[in-house]
Amino acid sequence: MSVESPRPASTPEPGETPPGAAAESVHHDPVADSDLDPRSPVPAPPGPLGVLGNGLRGALIGMAELVPGVSGGTVALVTGVYPRLLDSGAHVVDGMRSAALGPERRARTAAAFRHVDWWLLLPLAVGMLAMVFTMAGVMKGFVEGSPEIARGLFLGMVAASIAVPLGMARATPGGRNWVLGLIFAGGAALALVLSGLPSGSISDPSYLLVFVAAAVAICALVLPGVSGSYLLLAMGLYAPTLGAVDDRNFAYLGVFALGALLGISLFVKVLDRLLEDFRKPTLIAMAGLMLGSLRALWPWQTEEADVLAPGSDWPMVLAAAAVGVVVVVIVLAVERVFADKAATTDPDPRVTALEDRE
């Protein structure tokens, strides 16, 4: 797998103050005047293994989006592509905005799309779509046929993944502990309430409901701790949506895609700005959301999401949870190895840009 490349000089890492800049937040703007310079650094293409790795990451995210209680954003965090995914999404949104509004539309739109990490987005999208269309029926059968074991596996994975945003927050300076504690508790409480919503199924949903539900549920793709599939389950659209995927109901899927496009366009910029201006509190809130979402993954519960005591199958469920933890630990270890390797071999794009200008 490839790892996250350093951000371009015009887009500093969230929470990082560029050399010579003031201490206040500096918004990256993909259509700023500096980005119109064709010599400004852009995401570099990875090798064949990097492209394959991004496709596999997309497959994992797609599988997560099929499972109620598991967030695709959580998987993006664990696999190390979350910052790049969010940043590229913001560039796409700004590119579309520039195409419709503002001066110098053609030049600024081209500049925005030039800074999108297409080598990440396209393989990721292919992997996600391939997994969704090939595994929708299988995953639905696994979750419905062995619900306790499935939830135990995912419980272990999400619980272990909470260490990711907490580690990122710990490496970010600033913040008062009592404020961060309140934010963490608030995120956990919100996810706890959402995950306790009773679920049902609507046999013949209207296209308007599908459109609105998709716009809401897709936000979970970029928000760790909130499961898009669980939101669909709570709105009664989980089974109809998986059925539409399995049956290739393109009218339903087209309406769903339009709603998802609207939702992601509105939400990705908000979250990207939050990570730039309030990086540490946002990461703490994500960790809280992930903790609260464990309520939805408690293995023993009724169809109305009422929590039950552990059943006689608890040894198998516990083993499944342990497997989930091990899977996440292995993924994190592999990502760390590749990140360390990339740090020693990849040049800093800021230095490269300066050398090119000289």
Kindly write down the DSSP assignment for every residue of 79-137, as one continuous string: TT-HHHHHHHHHHHHHHHHHHHSSSSHHHHHHHHHHTS-HHHHHHHHHHHHHHHHHHHH
Rounded Cα distance, 311 and 186, in Å: 31
Say what the pLDDT of residue 321 is: 92
Contacts with 25 (C-beta within 8 Å, 6 or more apart), sequence order: 276, 277
Say what the pLDDT of residue 199 is: 59
Rounded Cα distance, 67 and 195, in Å: 13
pLDDT tens series, the chain, 358 aa: 433 444 444 444 433 333 333 333 334 444 555 556 666 777 778 888 888 888 988 888 888 777 766 677 778 877 878 888 888 888 888 788 777 776 667 777 887 788 788 888 899 989 988 888 887 777 767 777 788 888 888 888 888 888 878 888 888 887 788 889 999 999 889 888 877 766 555 677 888 888 988 888 887 677 776 667 767 776 777 778 878 887 888 899 999 989 988 888 778 878 877 877 888 898 898 888 888 878 877 888 877 777 888 888 899 999 999 998 888 888 777 767 766 665 565 444 433 333 444 4
Tokens 């919100």 belong to which residue? 190
| C-alpha distances out from residue 124 to 34, 96, 128, Å | 29, 20, 6
Asked if residues 121 and 221 have their Cβ atoms less than 8 Å apart, the reply is no
Rounded Cα distance, 76 and 55, in Å: 12
Say what the pLDDT of residue 89 is: 82
- Output Rg (C-alpha) for the chain, integer angstroms: 21
> 307 has which bridge partners?
301
Torsion angle (degrees, nearest 10) of CA 307, 311, 315, 320: -40
Say what the pLDDT of residue 67 is: 72
Rounded Cα distance, 292 and 187, in Å: 7
Say what the pLDDT of residue 322 is: 93
Residue type, 196: G
Say what the pLDDT of residue 13 is: 41
Rounded Cα distance, 101 and 96, in Å: 9
Q: 265: closest CA among 139, 143, 97?
A: 97
